Structures are given as C-alpha cells and as structure tokens.
Amino acid sequence: MSLIQIYLDAVTHQVITREELGYLAGHHDQFDATELKLSARLETLIRSGSISVGSR
C-alpha cells in the first residue's frame, strides 16, 4: 500500500476505507514532506465531506 495509491483511489471513488486510514496513521511518522502535504490534503477533503469513510 502506498500513500499515492490511497490518495488516487480516495479521490477517484470519493471514499477512503478504515484500513487505509489505519495505514496513514501507522506510517505518518515515516512520510516525507511531499507525503505530509498529500495526507493533509486528504484530511481536508475528508473534513469537508468530499471524501467519506466507508467501503468501496
């Protein structure tokens, strides 16, 4: 699993799974600056309701 793939799937399907959120939380301390910006963008999209948490 990679952050880029998670991001692309989430944006495409407008859904992020709990497993993917778990991956993000578990690996957040290993992200580089670009990945941190991407995860912040995902957080913004989830908070705004553009991406919901669920299953695909």
List pLDDT tens digits, range 1-56. Answer: 899 999 999 999 999 999 999 999 999 999 999 999 999 999 999 999 999 999 98
Q: What is the pLDDT of residue 56?
A: 82
The count of other CB atoms within 10 Å of the CB of residue 32 is 9
CA angle (25 as vertex; 52, 30 as ends), nearest 5: 130
With CA atoms as reference, report the closest residue to 52 among 23, 10, 19: 10
Q: What count of Cα atoms within 13 Å lies in the side-chain half-sphere of residue 29?
A: 1
Cβ atoms 50, 18 nearer than 8 A = no
Single pTM value for the model: 0.87
Q: What is the pLDDT of residue 45?
A: 97
Q: What is the pLDDT of residue 13?
A: 97
Q: Residue 53 phi/psi, 5° resolution?
A: -95, 125
